[in-house]
Amino acid sequence: MAVRFPESLVRQALDLRAVFPRSPRETLGGYVLAARIVDKARAALVDQLGEYTFAGPNSLDWLFFEFTGLEPEDLKAFVATGATDLEVADWIAAHAQPRERLEIIKWNNRIRDLRLSEAPDFAQEYMEEYIARHVPKHRPVYHYLDIYDLEEGRL
């Protein structure tokens, strides 16, 4: 028997087999990465994740989950209710590790400014081949997030 999800979830879910999730630079609830993570959670729930991963072992998602203290499956369970972006933002605010606004802003800026050479070792190793396969030739990667925005045509 197929799992049924709220119509609001199905309507909001992007088919990531055909389109890209939001840029990792886009914010949700005041956090970079969050909007993209929510797009991937919705797509995963309705089996439209394509080649993407939700909280995969080599994904940027873990930077968000480590900083906020949220558990991926808890966020995914809330998203499964059909929550809107605004409702997800409120849920994040209620469940994330309490932080001052300036601390979140500084974290966002660190993530936006993260250079590949500053990324965790596992990410550098993974991206060495990934960039060669997926980023357009002769397009320099200055920041870690450039990889996604170049590959997905935003830069």
23 lies in the same domain as 72: yes
**What's the pLDDT at 106?**
99
**What's the pLDDT at 1?**
52
Whether residue 1 lies inside any domain: the answer is no
In the chain, which residues have pLDDT < 50? none
**What's the pLDDT at 3?**
72
Structural domains of the chain, count = 2
Nearest alpha-carbon partner for 13 in 45, 51, 35: 45
Whether residue 23 lies inside any domain: the answer is yes
Whether residue 153 lies inside any domain: the answer is yes
Q: HSE (CB half, 13 Å, CA atoms) of 33? A: 24
Distance between CA atoms of residues 20 and 110, nearest Å: 24
28 lies in the same domain as 76: yes
Tell me the residue range of the domain where 123 lies: 115-155
pTM: 0.94
46: its two tokens? 């309705």
Q: HSE (CB half, 13 Å, CA atoms) of 55? A: 15
Distance between CA atoms of residues 95 and 150, nearest Å: 32
**What's the pLDDT at 95?**
99
Distance between CA atoms of residues 49 and 39, nearest Å: 9
Q: How far apart are the first and last CA of the chain?
A: 43
